[in-house]
Amino acid sequence: MTQNYLTALPHRAVLAITGPDARSFLQRVITHGPEGVTPERAMLSALLTPQGKLLADLIIFDDGEGGLYFDLPASEAQALLKRFTLYRLRSDAALDLRDDLSVIAASGMGEAELRTVALTASPDPRNPEIGWRAIAPAGGPASDLNAYHAARIKAGAPEMSADFGPAEVFSTDVNHDLMGGIDYKKGCFVGQEVASRMHRKGGVRKRSLRLTTHSYAQPGDPVQAGDIALGAVSSAAPTCALARVRVDRLKDALSNGETLTLGGAPAQVIDDLDAL
């Protein structure tokens, strides 16, 4: 069933990048794009540490005038501004955190109102089942995040501040590769060597999986198969949760007939484990 919501996302901030080199200077830095962003379609990307850990998840929008809007974690906004300013070197580009702008999201009946206030909008690039996402003037819709988080959890889309912090996880731990957030063919980006090596080796051991349960899970609840510890819930909605688990151990345990539990209650995996 489609979730109906329209909400501001106060845990996200907007970084505007303008100038002749706005679309080129980060091409060698982030995991996807920014070349290729269009007015019709936003792009999922990320900034990694040199060791391949995820510093921030990024959603990139076309500003309609040759520049870009970066939808990024508000908690990391100042640090990211400093990093991107260093990466700019001599490129002709201006970077500004825009307190006059906000990130909003909507689904169902809320999408029509989102389009009336949006400066630029797109289906959520992680999974269109989440709904639409937009950059809009600040002071728009109120913050009512429950339905938004339920939609992204059911769509299998981990998000910084809810599911992980800076430099805590690899991109594959939170499914960035599965959601189109990494372009392994683009050439150099920060952390590319580690990310590419993990991709080539295959057999990713840890993933963020969607689990269903009849009880209301809480972040931190343990996920087990029999007595085997697999991981823990990172975020939860009614009857559905995202949990970062060892998929290799999970597959072995299930093949041996062990019962999957979440916080001690029976649970089931929604995702196709054979595809991971």
Taking residues 179-187, report their average pLDDT: 91
Place of tokens 């640090």: 79
For the chain, domains (ranges, CATH) are 6-154 (3.30.70.1400), 171-275 (2.40.30.160)
pLDDT in tens, 227-238: 999 999 999 998
pLDDT of residue 164: 97
Question: Phi/psi zone of residue 100: left (φ > 0), alpha (ψ -120 to 50 degrees), beta?
Answer: alpha
Neighbours of 220 (CB within 10 A): 10
Q: How confident is the model at residue 144 (pLDDT cuts 50, 70, 90)?
A: confident
- Residue 203 pLDDT more than 80? no
- pTM equals 0.94
pLDDT band with cut points at 50, 70 and 90 for residue 128: very high
Q: Which two tokens stand for residue 234?
A: 């990172």
* CB atoms closer than 10 angstroms to residue 146: 12
Q: Is cis: bond before 128, omega within 30 of 0?
A: no
Coil/strand/helix, residue 117 = helix
Per-residue model confidence as pLDDT tens digits over 158-173: 999 999 999 999 999 9
pLDDT band per the 50, 70, 90 thresholds, residue 252:
very high
All residues at 6 or more sequence positions from 116 whose CB lies less than 8 Å from its CB, including other chains: none
Mean pLDDT for the stretch of residues 186-214: 85
